[in-house]
Amino acid sequence: MDNKDNFEILAKRLKEVRTNEGMTQKDFAQEMGVTPVTLSAYENNLKRPSLDLILKVAKEYEISLDWLCGLTDKKVVLSKNSIETYADIIELITNINNYININYEPSTNKNEYGKITFLDSELNNFLTAWVKMEDLLNNDMIDFNLYSLWIYQQLEIYGAIKIPNKDNTKK
């Protein structure tokens, strides 16, 4: 894919963002701090938007820069605000399952819902420790600052550990 193709995709996707939001060119242009004529030029690939504008669109609408620029088909950036429906949770679970195996056991008791098991030792090590920390927090044995520090430390530790190939994690 050459540079020209990337800008054609960017033009189409800028328009897609605007139309998906149900906005006119005038309203979208005003929100982005450009004129409607300039926005039209961007959407028709007659003019190239600045990096600042592309970043603003991505941040404002929580979409991936890679998607906006045509490098991926994954549009939405996962953020704390992006989980709003059961479909969002289902997509997250299925995406996790693409990397590590998940086992689901439905419950036979009508008062229980079943359980999900992650077939990954590193993730289970974290989850075991996390449940203990949550318990300490919920029972006022530690404060939220200490809990947050622990989470931050865990992210540092686990950030250095690569997820193994899914085929190697099957039990």
Kindly state whether residue 75 falls inside one of the protein's structural domains. no
157 located within any domain: yes
Alpha-carbon torsion (82, 60, 77, 124), positive or negative = negative
Q: Does any domain span residue 79?
A: no
Is 136 part of a structural domain of the chain? yes
**Distance between CA 134 and CA 140 in Å, rounded?**
10
- Token pair, residue 143, equals 């404060």
35 and 104 co-located in one domain: no
More confident residue, 16 or 94: 16
Sequential DSSP letters for 13-54: HHHHHHHHTT--HHHHHHHHTS-HHHHHHHHTTSSPPPHHHH
pLDDT of 162 above 80: yes
User: pTM, whole model, 2 decimals?
Assistant: 0.48
If asked whether residues 59 and 96 sit together in one domain, one would say: no
- Output the six-digit token pair for 14: 């800028």
Residue 51 lies in a domain: yes
For residue 119, give its domain range.
86-169
Which residues lie below 8 Å from residue 55, measured CB to CB, with a gap of 6+? 65
Please tell me the total count of domains within the chain.
2
User: Tens of pLDDT along 63-122?
Assistant: 888 888 888 777 765 555 567 778 877 878 887 887 888 888 888 888 888 888 888 888
